[in-house]
Amino acid sequence: MKFGGEYRRAVLDVFYDTNKRGSFTWDGSAGPWRADPAASPQERSMADFLAMITTANNGANITRGQLQRDYRQNSIDGWVHDNFQVNRRLNLNFGVRYTFLGILNDIDKTITNFLPGRGFVTPGRDIDRLFPNDFNNFAPRFGFAYQPFGTGKTVVRGSWGLFYDTPPLNFIVANTSPGNGSAAGVHANPGGPDPVFNINLTGTATQIVPGQAIFGTAAPRPPFGAYGINQDFRTPYVQNYNLNIQQQLGNGTIFQTGYVASTGRKLSLLRNVNAPIPGTTGDLQSRRPFNSAFPTIAAINMLESIANSQYHSWQSSIRVTRWKGLMVNGNYTWSRQMDNGTDVRNNLPANSYDLRREYGPGTIDLAHIFTGYVAYDLPKFTARMKPLLQGWQFGSLFQATTGPPMDLTAGVNRSNSFDNRDRVDVIGSPVVGVQEPNIPGGARRYFNAANFALPTLGSFGNIGRNALRGPGFAATDFSILKRTAITERIRTEFRVEIFNLFNHANFANPGTSFNAASSFGLITNTRNGSTAPGLGQGEPRNIQLALKLIW
């Protein structure tokens, strides 16, 4: 029997001056030229900039107030585990872990939480804490290993476990800014003893006039953004489970295959609970659900534990260890990962009132993954000329994956939600009529942009989240290694490493914003994000030489 535990006290003295200097957006939708078909989106945006007319879609915003906070958090974990050998063929292991995550608190009691029924409340003054404690975080786990034939060459293994997550600080209190004008966290709410005002000019275009204050002078000018944590917020958890078979095929050769999966529940998700209700009449502000009670508040981002994820995979591997100087390892995964919100901190649902439409491939979903390596020690053919003929090793590392998902966004506010997550309408097959552009610099057309359109006003687009896949990835690296003994205690190691041996082009995803017409559907860089060939995984072939002295 094994048991243990730990106690953690977090002391966080943080200062986030997020957006203290303000930010402005000119997207070509504000000036009288906004409907001019002869002007490109870039030309219309430049015209807005020269005329100093910001867009009505959160075009001008700034944060005012003191953002210094001093946080504390106490957490406790305890666990017990046992391993039981039932007989010579069957082994069981099981246990349970308990996690208690203390609620983050500000020792000066200056942070505020927005509660829809009460407005801004201060933990330690108006309510006990940011949100109620979760005392139900028991995490059992179980596993087994079974030899069906008793020879030791075939083993069946399986396990199931429940694991709780710790929500990061940035999800709760600081620097969470998905770009819809809400407060950046509970540290930046416009209420309580030390209010912070995120002033967001939205709904109408703003003319910047020299000599006039854009956001007001003596008192901050509404509407303001707010941030809240749902009082039903609970600790996120994941269930991991697998079943696999391992078979020895010969001396030093092992094959393994099996099912591996996980299920995430109560995962963190940001939702704008005060977005204008789609399809209703009335002006923008009156369509917000909390306008009558809080007329100076626009976007209210609420952190909730309502997201789900699902991962299913079939994984296989083969390993050869030291067979006549040869080592081989190959791994293949066929998988599917689905969720309704991968990047919690920076992304909102397109429609905060319809989370079902958000369920789709996760940002990290890769359908096929193949990795492996081969290493071969050159045999000692002769005892002569040891420094030259002995100590050679050749190796190769290879990887291939299918492309990651792409989320095609409108890039402009068509739904009037002002959350900047509207997607496009599909009006034809993305792969039909693809023509390479005549653009200096080698940009490539990945899909036909003409088969997409902006959604109609008041709608969010008919394409699903992460509906298309980007380019795949493939790279083979090759190395030559030479070890040479200088004395009994000193030796050198010389390496020649060739990355992307076959110089395979690995492209990044194309542009995914419809409003950026010059890049929508075009591939303009390689996988690691460099606009020019560089060094790194998947970049054009490059060679590295290394010399190591070992003693």
| Stronger pLDDT, 393 or 526, i.e. the higher one | 393
**Structure confidence by residue, pLDDT tens digits, 433-459:** 888 776 666 788 999 999 999 999 889
pLDDT at 42: 83
Q: Buried (b) or exposed (e) across 269-285, using 16+ Cβ within 10 A?
A: bbbbbbbbeeeeeeebb
The pLDDT, as a whole number, for residue 425 is 96
Per the CB < 8 A criterion, the answer to whether 196 and 65 are in contact is yes
Q: Are 206 and 128 in contact (CB under 8 A)?
A: no
At 174 the pLDDT is: 62
Task: State the average pLDDT for the chain.
Answer: 89
* Mean pLDDT along residues 479-495: 91
CA–CA gap between residue 83 and residue 388 (Å, rounded): 52
Q: Tell me if residue 434 falls in helix, strand or coil.
A: coil
| 268: helix, strand or coil | strand
Judged against a pLDDT cut of 70, whether residue 196 lies above it is answered with yes
Residues 6+ apart with CB under 8 A from 383: none
3-state secondary structure of 121: strand
Helix or strand holding residue 241 (H, E): strand 237-250
Question: How many other C-beta atoms lie within 10 A of the C-beta of residue 57?
Answer: 25
Alpha-helix residue ranges (DSSP H) falling in 158-197:
169-172
DSSP string, 290-328: TTTT-TTEEEEEEEEEEEEEEEEEEEEEEEEEEETTEEE
Q: Which amino acid is it at 221?
A: R
Rounded to whole angstroms, how far apart are CA atoms 513 and 481? 46
- The DSSP secondary-structure symbol of 80 reads E
pLDDT at residue 434, rounded to an integer: 83
Region at 381 (left for phi over 0; alpha for psi -120 to 50; beta for the rest): alpha
- Residue 484 corresponds to which tokens in the numbers above? 């040479």
Residue 224's nearest CA partner among 348, 124, 119, 304 is: 119
More confident residue, 14 or 30: 30
CA atoms within 13 A on the CB side of 466: 22
Residue 532 has pLDDT above 60, yes or no: no
Question: Is 359 within 8 Å of 341 (Cβ atoms)?
Answer: no
Q: Cα(11)–Cα(14) distance, rounded to whole angstroms?
A: 9
Amino acid at 344: V
CA 20 → CA 51, 199, 459, distances in Å? 24, 11, 33
Asked whether 360 and 465 are in contact (CB, 8 A), the reply is yes
The pLDDT confidence band at residue 273, using thresholds 50, 70 and 90, is very high
How many Cβ atoms sit within 10 Å of the Cβ of residue 468? 21
Q: Note whether 68 and 108 are within 8 A (CB).
A: no
State residue 154's pLDDT score.
96
pLDDT digits (tens, 9 = 90+) for 343-383: 777 778 999 999 999 999 999 999 999 999 999 998 877 77
Does the structure show a pLDDT above 60 at 315? yes
Give me 271's structure tokens: 């939702």
Kindly state the average pLDDT of the residues 479-500. 91
Q: pLDDT value at position 536? A: 66
**Low-confidence winner among 79-88, 177-186, 220-229, 405-414 (lowest mean pLDDT):** 177-186
Residue 549, pLDDT score: 92
Place of tokens 């998700």: 269
Cis amide leading into 223 (omega within 30)? yes
Please report the DSSP string for 371-406 in residue order: EEEEEEEPP---SSSHHHHSSEEEEEEEEEEPPPEE
Tell me the pTM: 0.84
Phi, psi of 517 (to 5 degrees): -60, -30
Confidence of residue 222 (pLDDT cuts 50, 70, 90): confident
Amino acid at 63: T
* Region of poorest pLDDT, from 9-23, 93-107, 223-237: 9-23
Distance CA 273, CA 269 (A): 12
* Residues 99-141 pLDDT 10s: 999 998 899 999 999 999 899 999 999 999 999 999 999 999 9
Q: Please indicate whether residue 259 or residue 412 has the higher confidence score (pLDDT).
A: 259
| C-beta atoms surrounding 366 within 10 Å | 20
Query: What is the residue whose two structure tokens read 């959350």?
Result: 419
